[in-house]
Amino acid sequence: MIESITNSAKVQEGLIQLKPSSGFKALPSVNSTVQVNVLEKIGSNYRLLINGSVYQSNLPVTTEKGEEFLAKVMSHQPLTLGLDNFAKFGQLDAQSASLLLSKLKIAETDLTKTLLEKVVSSKKPLLKSKIDRLIEYAENMDIKIDDVLMQLLISAVWNLSEDKLKETKNIFEEVFDISFEELSKQIFALINKSNELNLSQGYYDLVNDSFILDAENFEQQLNISAVKDKSERFLNLIQFIYENESQLNLDNSANDVLSELRTFSLKYVLQKALYGKFEIYPEFAILKRKGKLELVNFRLEKNDGNSYRVISKIDLDKDDSFFIQGLFTNEKFIGEAIVNNKIDELVKNQLNVLNKKISQILKIVADVKGKIKNITTLVEGDSIITHQPINVNI
């Protein structure tokens, strides 16, 4: 919470209120975006230059003399600036992105636009030095950056000191040389391959108990260890492979499978530790149904209060995926299934089954509906706000 230094009324997080520090010119109009220059720090407050006038306020971020950032004028009496509300429903349109980049004096490229959009949707204050650092960091990283990794980089740049950030570069490049989604696909493929090897029962028991959700026996036993963080279980698997390598009497191809599984399991442990540090939760689950293993990727996101967003995805084939995303609170789960063309009876029926299961097992209200193509942003409560289609890479 930010407290105004002009009055003690608490204002919403992400807003600052300012008092003029010297004679000032006309106030910038409401809803306009202004550039703010940090002139100096005085105790816990800052002297700020806005449109040629000097103001004083505290800030929700620690910054230094010379910093520049953008803010949106929310109201005049008192002058209140919003630092993290540049986009409606959390998404920035292309025109607004161009405008903000030009105000930040940053060249417009595909990368800078994408990064800015992600910074805005992460609700981080638009500090020029941080955005410059993020661009430099992303440009110099020798790996492919997907949505979830970009979210991590933004958190790292905004939260870590310069020295710590330097320390992380090599770690990030080494640990994230494969995206979490690709990592889960590789692990899934290797577990499938290992099923064709004649390994000890101990190995198969460990894999089944730790990583496979038996969907056919769902009603009897809900093995949630397969959906939650599996770091300790992967560590046990690595240990098991090392300890039993000699007794397993493996041929070369089996050796390769287990050696790769060991490496990817360790990458999972490291990626989860790093993502978890920044409150980012990508995950995957392997489910067994009709004797077949299937992979589901999902991401959990902390929302305001005690609610979480759940975004789940299954690949139908090489080019087509099916999503269910929803908002969970202790009392309800409201969501939507996103389909490409039409919501047929089959999907409707399955969503009814899902709603019933959630209500019966968890004793909460469940309302997951089908939705065609355009993606929505879920807000706490019952209402679902629709906006333009966005990518929902997870």
Partner 1 sequence: MKNDFTKQVIRMVKKSKINIEENEFISEALNSSKSNNAMPVKLNMIAALVSDSLVSIKQKLGDSNE
Asked if 93 interacts with partner 1 (CB under 8 A), we say no
Question: Which tokens go with 293?
Answer: 């293993």
Asked if 229 interacts with partner 1 (CB under 8 A), we say yes
**Using CB under 8 A, which of 196, 279, 340, 381 touches partner 1?**
279
The answer for residues whose C-beta is within 8 angstroms of residue 36's C-beta and 6 or more apart is 48, 49, 50, 68, 69, 70, 71, 81
* CA atoms of 153 and 80, how far apart (whole Å): 29
- In the complex, what is the shortest distance from the CB of residue 239 to partner 1, in angstroms, rounded to a whole number? 8
The 3-state DSSP class for residue 332 equals strand
Asked if 232 interacts with partner 1 (CB under 8 A), we say yes
What single-letter DSSP state applies at residue 378? Answer: E
- In the complex, what is the shortest distance from the CB of residue 3 to partner 1, in angstroms, rounded to a whole number? 30
| DSSP element (H, E) containing 96 | helix 94-103
What single-letter DSSP state applies at residue 197? Answer: S
Measured between alpha carbons, how far apart are the two ends of the chain, in Å? 31
Q: Select 55 or 323, whichever has its Cβ closest to partner 1.
A: 323
Rg (CA), the chain: 25
Asked if 314 interacts with partner 1 (CB under 8 A), we say yes
- Tell me the window of 91-99, 120-128, 192-200, 350-358 that interacts with partner 1 (CB under 8 A): 350-358
- In the complex, what is the shortest distance from the CB of residue 174 to partner 1, in angstroms, rounded to a whole number? 5
Asked if 313 interacts with partner 1 (CB under 8 A), we say yes
Task: Tell me the DSSP string of 30-98.
Answer: TT-EEEEEEEEEETTEEEEEETTEEEEE--SS---TT-EEEEEEEETTTEEEESS--SGGG---HHHHH
- Tell me the window of 101-109, 111-119, 138-146, 319-327 that interacts with partner 1 (CB under 8 A): 319-327
Considering only residues 147 through 176, tell me which ones interact with partner 1, judged by CB under 8 A.
164, 167-168, 170-171, 174-175
**Using CB under 8 A, which of 1, 251, 292, 342 touches partner 1?**
292
Question: Which tokens go with 251?
Answer: 């041929």
Asked if 346 interacts with partner 1 (CB under 8 A), we say yes
Indicate the angle between helix axes 231-248 and 201-211, nearest 10 degrees.
Answer: 170
Asked if 218 interacts with partner 1 (CB under 8 A), we say yes
Asked if 178 interacts with partner 1 (CB under 8 A), we say no
- In the complex, what is the shortest distance from the CB of residue 333 to partner 1, in angstroms, rounded to a whole number? 6
**Using CB under 8 A, which of 55, 69, 240, 333 touches partner 1?**
333
* CA atoms of 383 and 74, how far apart (whole Å): 24
- Strand 332-339 vs strand 365-372: parallel, antiparallel, or unpaired? parallel
Considering only residues 118 through 147, tell me which ones interact with partner 1, judged by CB under 8 A.
none
**Using CB under 8 A, which of 150, 283, 334, 378 touches partner 1?**
283
Asked if 104 interacts with partner 1 (CB under 8 A), we say no
Q: Select 115 or 311, whichever has its Cβ closest to partner 1.
A: 311
Asked if 272 interacts with partner 1 (CB under 8 A), we say yes
Q: Is the dihedral of CA 108, 111, 117, 118 positive or negative?
A: negative
Tracing tokens 């409707």 back to the chain, one arrives at 348
Residue 326 β-bridge partners: 310, 335
Question: Which tokens go with 118?
Answer: 């992600």
Q: Select 2 or 285, whichever has its Cβ closest to partner 1.
A: 285
Q: Select 120 or 187, whichever has its Cβ closest to partner 1.
A: 187
- In the complex, what is the shortest distance from the CB of residue 172 to partner 1, in angstroms, rounded to a whole number? 10
Give the CA angle between residues 225, 229, 233 to the nearest 5°. Answer: 65
**Using CB under 8 A, which of 65, 94, 277, 386 touches partner 1?**
277
